[in-house]
Structure 1
Amino acid sequence: MNFTALNNFLLIPNVCDRYADGSRALGIFANETVTVGLGLHKHRKKKLHNVLIGCSQINEGTVHAFDGVMGLGYSKHSFAVRVAEEFGYVFSYCLVDHLSPSNFANYLSFGRKSEVSKLHNMQYTKLILGVINPFYAVNVAGISIGGTMLKIPSEVWDIEGRGGVIIDSGTSLTALTELAYKPVIAALDPHLKNFQKLGIDIEELNYCFNATGFKESLVPKLAFHFADGAQFVPPVKSYIIDADDGVRCLGFTPIKWPGNSIIGNIMQQNHFWEFDLVGKKLGFAPSSCTMLKSKV
């Protein structure tokens, strides 16, 4: 996205934005007018007024490693919500494999895309807004591995209680509360018994192994089952991830119970995701992320 900011400052000091993985940025907001380019038409532009742009002074966690962060959360301060309201309250993105060549690119689009009809197996599930602010929550009913539903207490998925699940593009790993994490690891472990476990922790990856001779076909399919019947079946490489040369790790990290589980951006890779903020639904489908390239 290309945008130009025009000076129209309304400074709000000492604003803190915290992410689902605990990362945070502390700084000031500036109320700006930004100019965005429309799609692939280089000369078509639109001005958007009263857009909050943050200038961080302190960065902690994963945000420390980047030049900037675009807020996609559901709040009045979110860049995504402000821009989406100009284009039908819909935005979408597609994330390529994190190990893809440099000429492959993720993309973010605002507005409903007619090309969505070309995607196969597009599914929709309810998008729950305003309950776990500013995150996008979904109604997960369970997780299956190899077609067998795991024995995970229903309270883990209860968004009105002490659990619930959010889908978060700003968190890399998929985080599961202990009541879900342990059954998932236990179900995958027998399929990896022939590979030497490594006594290392790579960032927050706790289960790593020597991947010599490993084939993805050895691992059964994992699926997230939504309460309304939709199923998200990520590719194996999204949950058995390359962590280093000759090293694979289970792409899950445990978090304390009670708490909210997180479907992170590595798990979301190679899928198209559409957030309909008015219809309150989340659409998703497998994608190479090379089709729907027009952007705002």
Structure 2
Amino acid sequence: MNLFSLSSCPTPSTPCSYDYRYVDGSTAQGVFGKETFTVRLTNGRVARLPGVLVGCTNSFSGDSFRGADGVLGLALSDYSFTSKATNVFGGKFSYCLVDHLSNKNVSNYLIFGSSSFSSATKLNATRTTPLDLNVIPPFYAVNIIGLSLGETMLDIPMQVWDATQGGGTILDSGTSLTFLADAAYKAVVSGLQRHLVGLKRVRPEGLPIEYCFDTTSGFNQSKLPQLTFHFKGGARFEPHRRSYLIDAASGVKCLGFVSAGEPGTNVIGNIMQQNYLWEFDIVASALTFAPSTCL
């Protein structure tokens, strides 16, 4: 245990230890190793990726690892699996996440290399926006210029979206809920709350979400205005309503946002990304996305 958190290996034969901490408070401790990964190609063949850095965890805490056999980090660092795979397979990767309450026989998918915007994706709804790979490394930053509810742009100060002023926005598959800097958070939840008048407010145990409502008497989700993320350059991301008014328990729906403080980095979480295909082009520094059934 006294070897954890070493910044370097004492000798070439001494295991390098780590004590890794995640944003949600989860921790993992163990030793590093290098392995060769074998991956299956779409033509049925296999390929090998040598020298991939792997952490062999022998102690962990927190929710990130419950029910999981491991974690595949997708951040763009010198040591990540993503960097190794994109160097070999054309500088791109993509994923599509089904609804988090889907049946267990339905799978998400992750592809390294060019993705195909297939019949499962609405081709005429494909959008592209620049990726800022050097602004909030090793995360995938995007340039948001504003949020709207329905036809109304919300009054949010521009510094909320400015990474040079402690703001900025990342797209993160490893965070479930969506985090918004306090000014954006207040504008979004107050705007949505006006359409939830009449529903009893509740506070389910163990959830970090502030705004939850009893919907046992019925609630038509289509009454909620469309939330839209407006990107620099004109691209717009319109998440499904069930991705921001989420089912938290039987008869309980919650606004799926958490305050990131002020200033704070905004995080578009994986529930907000549901039923969209996301393609990250590392070479062209571009993010392409479109609604998809993920089939």
Q: Which AA in structure 1 matches 2:234?
A: G
| Structure 2 CA distance for partners of 1:40 and 1:266, relative to 1, 3 Å | farther
Q: Which residue of 2 aligns with 1:281?
A: 286
Does residue 257 (structure 1) correspond to residue 259 (structure 2)? The answer is no
| Structure 2 CA distance for partners of 1:115 and 1:200, relative to 1, 3 Å | closer
Does residue 175 (structure 1) correspond to residue 176 (structure 2)? The answer is no
CA deviation after TM superposition for structure 1 residue 29, in Å: 1.6
Q: Which AA in structure 2 matches 1:258?
A: P
Q: What is the rounded CA distance, in whole Å, between the counterparts of 1:11 and 1:97 in structure 2? A: 44
Does residue 25 (structure 1) correspond to residue 3 (structure 2)? The answer is no
Does residue 15 (structure 1) correspond to residue 18 (structure 2)? The answer is yes
1:246-289 CA-to-partner distances (Å, cap 9, x unmatched) read: 00000001122112010000000000000000100011000000
Q: Which residue of 2 aligns with 1:75?
A: 77
Q: What is the rounded CA distance, in whole Å, between the counterparts of 2:83 and 2:13 in structure 1? A: 19
Are the aligned partners of 1:191 and 1:218 in contact in 2 as well (CA < 8 Å)? yes
RMSD value over aligned CA atoms?
Answer: 1.9
Q: Which residue of 2 aligns with 1:246?
A: 251
| Structure 2 CA distance for partners of 1:173 and 1:11, relative to 1, 3 Å | farther
CA deviation after TM superposition for structure 1 residue 22, in Å: 4.1
CA deviation after TM superposition for structure 1 residue 194, in Å: 1.5
Q: What is the rounded CA distance, in whole Å, between the counterparts of 1:177 and 1:284 in structure 2? A: 24
| Structure 2 CA distance for partners of 1:30 and 1:192, relative to 1, 3 Å | same
Q: Which residue of 1 aligns with 2:134?
A: 130
1:130-171 CA-to-partner distances (Å, cap 9, x unmatched) read: 221211110011110112111111110001221000100000
Q: Which AA in structure 2 matches 1:50?
A: G
1:106-142 CA-to-partner distances (Å, cap 9, x unmatched) read: 0000101244596421101111112212111100111
Does 211-220 or 260-269 show the bigger shift?
Answer: 211-220
Aligned partner (choices 145, 150, 157) of residue 146 of structure 1: 150
Moved over 6 A (4+): none
Q: What is the rounded CA distance, in whole Å, between the counterparts of 1:218 and 1:115 in structure 2? A: 30
CA deviation after TM superposition for structure 1 residue 201, in Å: 4.7
Q: What is the rounded CA distance, in whole Å, between the counterparts of 1:184 and 1:10 in structure 2? A: 53
| Structure 2 CA distance for partners of 1:222 and 1:115, relative to 1, 3 Å | closer
After TM superposition, the structure 1 = structure 2 runs for residues 1-296 of structure 1, keeping only pairs within 5 Å, are 13-39=16-42, 41=44, 44-65=45-66, 66-115=68-117, 119-120=122-123, 121-211=125-215, 212-290=217-295
- Give the secondary structure class of the aligned counterpart of 1:15: strand
- Give the secondary structure class of the aligned counterpart of 2:164: coil
Are the aligned partners of 2:93 and 2:115 in contact in 1 as well (CA < 8 Å)? no
CA deviation after TM superposition for structure 1 residue 215, in Å: 1.1
In the superposition, the TM-score normalised over structure 2's length comes to 0.90
| Structure 2 CA distance for partners of 1:79 and 1:166, relative to 1, 3 Å | same
- Give the secondary structure class of the aligned counterpart of 2:264: coil
| Structure 2 CA distance for partners of 1:155 and 1:28, relative to 1, 3 Å | same
Are the aligned partners of 1:10 and 1:31 in contact in 2 as well (CA < 8 Å)? no
Q: What is the rounded CA distance, in whole Å, between the counterparts of 1:228 and 1:115 in structure 2? A: 21
Listed as ranges, the gaps of 5+ residues in structure 1 are 1-8, 291-296
Q: How many residues align?
A: 280
- Give the secondary structure class of the aligned counterpart of 1:85: helix
Are the aligned partners of 1:35 and 1:47 in contact in 2 as well (CA < 8 Å)? yes
CA deviation after TM superposition for structure 1 residue 10, in Å: 8.2
CA deviation after TM superposition for structure 1 residue 223, in Å: 0.5
